[in-house]
Amino acid sequence: MAVEVDISSVDKILDRYGQQQRGLISSLLAIQNEYHYLPADALQRVSERMAIPMVQVYQVASFYAAFSLKPRGKHIITVCLGTACHVRGGERLIDQIGRLLEIKAGETTKDMQF
């Protein structure tokens, strides 16, 4: 389900936020906003253009919970599973959503919406 990366789009983002290390997180956020995740090709381009080792770009991308390295939908559904929510049917709600969207928890629909 990987999305094809338009390198010129990534370059425009990098031009907007600069090519210095201090612009890394802002650039990654903008790329994720564009693709709904951080594609490997985009991370590679960030590494090349900003002259930051790929391992360092990956460390930042994998450290922050705000970033996703896997394709995910435009809309993220979150269901509370705390004790009170569990008692009131949180698990059943997850099952129902999964049936309606034809996915399992943590998966993305084919149309990349959820």
Length of the chain equals: 114
In this prediction, residue 2 carries a pLDDT of 58
In this prediction, residue 1 carries a pLDDT of 52
Give the global pTM.
Answer: 0.74
pLDDT along the chain (114 residues), means of 10: 81 89 94 93 96 96 93 88 93 94 90 89
For residue 31, which of 54, 62, 5, 52 has the smallest C-alpha distance?
A: 5
Six token digits for residue 60: 């930042």
In this prediction, residue 106 carries a pLDDT of 85
As a whole number of angstroms, the distance between CA 20 and CA 95 comes to: 45
In this prediction, residue 97 carries a pLDDT of 95
Six token digits for residue 44: 């590679």
